[in-house]
Amino acid sequence: MNFDFNTLLKGETTDIDISVRGWVRSFRNNQFIALNDGSTNQNLQVVLELNKFDDALLKRITTSACVMASGKLVKSQGKGQTVELVADNIEILGDSDAEKYPLQPKKHSLEFLREIAHLRFRTNTFGSVFRLRNALTYAIHTFFQERNFLNIHSPIISASDAEGAGEMFRVTNLDLDKLPKTETGEIDFSQDFFGRSANLTVSGQLEAELAAMAFSKVYTFGPTFRAENSNTARHLAEFWMIEPEVAFNELSDNADLAEEMLKYVIRYAMEKHADDIDFLDARLAEEEKQKPTAERAEFGLKDKLNFMLEHSFERVTYTEAIDILLQSPAYKKKKFQYDVNWGIDMQSEHERYLVEKHFKKPVIVTDYPKDIKAFYMRQNDDGKTVAAMDILAPGIGEIIGGSQREERLDKLVQRMNEMHIPTDEMFWYLDTRRYGTCKHAGFGLGFERLVQFVTGMGNIRDVIPFPRTPKNCEF
């Protein structure tokens, strides 16, 4: 029978003969192997009887070597573990030169570990991060499947730009040394693979809207790409998005769904991976101690997550939020780095003030100025705002953005014309408003932003296995 270490170390089953496989974390006194199989940060102690094993074999038990150990699992007589394996047999499955192995038994910086991203999975920090990333993936699918949502695989190669951002990666199979040109000197994409210009998708939302008009409740969960030349701790060129779309929902329904989903997935992660949350909570606390007092986070990791679970989310309009900021002591004492006035796209410092200082609970801001939002958002009767929403969380600011979509054909076409979005190329999107239109709403959750929030990691590059950023596409 195969057991993972997470199960074995609970100590519910002992005095059985088993074989285990894993990687050596340490080997001391030629007697005690700390073995790890990746299912937990806790190691299984494998005990070797002195003089029972050949010296040549013992020399091959080095840090990161892969071994199989067979013997009896017993209650541990020593401190630090519940059970241990008394080995009858040790087999080296894969040798490791301990002197050349990059992960020496010392503390390594996150910057260094990014340079060896192919090995950083083997550290405790990244073990916890990626087990939690997996748990959150499962929880998101479970949440939507339990509510009878249909999962839609939206295209990765697309001819549309959902956000109107224009910061896209071009997809082509043209010979870059001999690009065909039109008579006006432009690249002739009619000779390209798709017969037209194509790019990597920036969002699956528009395709999800099409599906929602047939299935009522759908969601996408897939990779998206932004060719944004931004070297910050918050941006990636390749990241994953969750985008539900629900027919017949209005903005308030959309906010309810988003709040319910966030609480569900956070609760799942905390219940299923309490040890990993505890480890990362302690890690973050230690990291915060190194900072000046004024720069320390308002919450510890577990406090922040419980903050999300224990409060109903405050709902406030953008106009009300701006008024609160303008009346705030922080604004009056010029403590904000960025100015505040009606019409701005609120910065993280503004969003965090609303959450952490003013309301002291998560906040859903609604009804943003239409000039700072996308063309597809439903226009409000005031002519100035749209039925948009952002969910703001402690320590991070915006974590979800969404809206009720503009279902009225005339209003949508008018807005697209104002924003110079070609309606002829978007005929397929407009068809949903021509043939059986209805109110509908959805939101987008950047998955890495969620993983960052749940793990407490300060840099988004540390919550995706192999980050893609400007001038960085290794591994």
Residue 119 has pLDDT above 90, yes or no: yes
Regarding whether 148 and 97 lie in a shared domain, the answer is no
Regarding whether 141 and 26 lie in a shared domain, the answer is no
Mean pLDDT taken over the chain: 94
Regarding whether 321 and 272 lie in a shared domain, the answer is yes
Tens digit of pLDDT for each residue in 13-31?
A: 899 999 999 999 999 999 9
Regarding whether 143 and 49 lie in a shared domain, the answer is no
Residue 320: predicted pLDDT: 98
420-451 burial: b if 16+ Cβ within 10 Å, else e: ebeeeebeebbebbeeebebbbbbbbbbbbbb
Give the whole-angstrom CA distance, residue 53 versus residue 32: 13
Does residue 473 belong to any structural domain of this protein?
no
- Give the DSSP per-residue string, 378-443: PBPTTSSEEEEEEEEETTTEEEEEEEEB---HHHHHHHHHHTT--TTTTHHHHHHHHSS---EEEE
Does residue 189 belong to any structural domain of this protein?
no
Regarding whether 157 and 59 lie in a shared domain, the answer is no
3-state class (DSSP) for residue 315: strand
| Beta-carbon contacts of residue 310 (< 8 Å; ≥ 6 apart) | none
Does residue 410 belong to any structural domain of this protein?
yes
Residue 107: predicted pLDDT: 87
Regarding whether 282 and 146 lie in a shared domain, the answer is yes
Residue 162: predicted pLDDT: 57
Does residue 179 belong to any structural domain of this protein?
no
Pick from 101, 133, 149: which residue ends a domain? 101
Average pLDDT over residues 259-288: 97
Q: How confident is the model at residue 195 (pLDDT cuts 50, 70, 90)?
A: very high
3-state class (DSSP) for residue 94: strand
Regarding whether 232 and 146 lie in a shared domain, the answer is yes
Residue 163 has pLDDT above 70, yes or no: no
Range of the domain at 304: 122-167+202-462
Radius of gyration of the chain (CA): 27
Regarding whether 137 and 96 lie in a shared domain, the answer is no
Regarding whether 151 and 50 lie in a shared domain, the answer is no
Q: Which two tokens stand for residue 185?
A: 């000197």
- Burial of 37: CB neighbours in 10 Å, binned 0-12, 13-18, 19+: middle
Does residue 233 belong to any structural domain of this protein?
yes
Q: In the chain, how many domains are there?
A: 2
Percent of the chain with pLDDT over 90: 88
Average pLDDT over residues 96-114: 91
CATH, residue 212: 3.30.930.10
Q: How confident is the model at residue 230 (pLDDT cuts 50, 70, 90)?
A: confident
Regarding whether 160 and 44 lie in a shared domain, the answer is no
Q: Are 307 and 266 in contact (CB under 8 A)?
A: no
Average pLDDT over residues 220-227: 96
Does residue 63 belong to any structural domain of this protein?
yes
Neighbouring CB atoms inside 10 A of 218's CB total: 26
Cα–Cα distance list, 344 to 147, 384, 401 (Å): 36, 13, 16
Least confidently predicted of 43-57, 162-176, 340-354, 390-404: 162-176
Residue 69 has pLDDT above 70, yes or no: yes
Average pLDDT over residues 317-321: 98
Does residue 191 belong to any structural domain of this protein?
no
Q: Which two tokens stand for residue 472?
A: 């960085």
Regarding whether 299 and 419 lie in a shared domain, the answer is yes
Does residue 177 belong to any structural domain of this protein?
no
Give the whole-angstrom CA distance, residue 246 versus residue 264: 18
Average pLDDT over residues 124-149: 98
Q: What single DSSP character describes residue 469?
A: B
Residue 166: predicted pLDDT: 58
CATH, residue 19: 2.40.50.140
Regarding whether 70 and 140 lie in a shared domain, the answer is no
Residue 161: predicted pLDDT: 61
Residue 3: predicted pLDDT: 78
Residue 233: predicted pLDDT: 86
Cα–Cα distance list, 39 to 25, 98, 131, 273, 283 (Å): 14, 23, 8, 11, 19
